[in-house]
Amino acid sequence: MRRTASPYALVLLGLGVFLLVLAPMLAWYVEPRAERTPTDVNITSVFTGRGTYFDQQELKEKSGQKLTVTRRVLGDVAAGERTGRAVWQVSQTIDNPKTRKLDDPRKSFQWTTERLVTDRKTNRPVNCCAARPRNIAGEAYLKWPFDVEKRDYSWWDSSLGATVPLHYKGRAKVHGHEGLRFSGTVPPTRAGTRQVPGVLVDRPRSGQVNAEEWYSNAGLDFIVDQRTGRILYAATGPKMVLRAPGGKTDKVTLLESDKLEFTDRTQREAVALAEDDNARLRTVGTTAPVGAVSAGGVCAAAGAVLVARGRRPKSAAGAEG
């Protein structure tokens, strides 16, 4: 007796095969392409702490003051889509109690801007698309690469204008979310020059002099989400001083703090973003493939059984009666 498979059995078998093919595609093709630095970022990170700064109006150092560092990162989506790179505009202000009240980056104690361009897969800086400065290097800066390894990384220090080795220090938690910790220091290093009255650096007879700027950092500390490379916690201990041209001793402390660290709000926002990113990657790389294999296996098996069994045409069934 001739038997034919029902449309339902064929659809079920086809769906099962499709899901079984989809699973490895999600895990091996889609997930790696999902691990890309985003182009549409809009993040504000705030560091606070106490320290010393040089008051230019009163021409004296003030210690024990609250210092605030505000860093805003905004993605240039159009440039990112056009070039296939991550193009981020970075604005950072350092404020003392006086300038903080003004809420204007142009009137802050220090205001710097950068245009960071990176490879979306490797996180390495790319010298294109009007990147500024053009010499940014290293493996990490505003984020670490995806799938962070337990090893040392070269981190770009914008105050130094060069990379700094950060050493792996083990695991640590930020508001319950575990990450990898990296730490390092910067010894006193000449970072540039600044024209100031000679009297400030013990050169009263020289009028204006090109004083040397020296930078150091007593403690760079980062906790990074291992899967996404997002920075969950950051702390820095910067010191910027002036020396007379060719001098060996510090004459003026422009800025110094033992620790400026992410505020609690910034930490919580960073953790929330990291958890959201992790959930998306787990869905694409684990949950969806496993679900597709399970559902695909059931559908394919059921469909195969129904196709094998088939069904009798109504005419044939009536003839037997």
Percentage of residues in the chain with pLDDT exceeding 70? Answer: 77
Residue 60 forms part of a structural domain: yes
Q: Which domain holds residue 181?
A: 30-280
Contact 239, 63 (CB under 8 A): no
pLDDT of residue 114: 96
Q: Which residues, listed in sequence order, are joined to residue 215 by a DSSP beta bridge?
A: 189, 240
- Quick check: 317 pLDDT over 80? no
Residue 199 forms part of a structural domain: yes
Residue 153 forms part of a structural domain: yes
**Domains held by the chain: number:** 1
Contact 95, 109 (CB under 8 A): yes
Q: How far apart are the first and last CA of the chain?
A: 14
Residue 207 forms part of a structural domain: yes
Nearest to 221 by CA among 176, 267, 259: 259
Confidence of residue 12 (pLDDT cuts 50, 70, 90): very low
CA dist 250 → 131, 240, 245, 253 (Å): 33, 10, 11, 7
Whole-angstrom distance, CA of residue 74 vs CA of residue 41 = 5
Exposure of 233 in the CB half-sphere (CA atoms within 13 A)? 18
- Quick check: 295 pLDDT over 70? no
Most confident of the ranges 72-86, 171-185, 270-284 = 171-185
Contact 86, 128 (CB under 8 A): no
Residue 230 forms part of a structural domain: yes
Residue 9 forms part of a structural domain: no
Residue 16 forms part of a structural domain: no
Per-residue tokens: 165: 């080795």
pLDDT of residue 27: 44
Q: What is the pTM of this model?
A: 0.79
- Quick check: 222 pLDDT over 60? yes
Residue 185 forms part of a structural domain: yes
Q: Per-residue pLDDT tens for 140-171?
A: 999 999 999 999 999 999 999 999 999 999 99
Confidence of residue 211 (pLDDT cuts 50, 70, 90): very high
Across all residues in the chain, what is the average pLDDT?
83
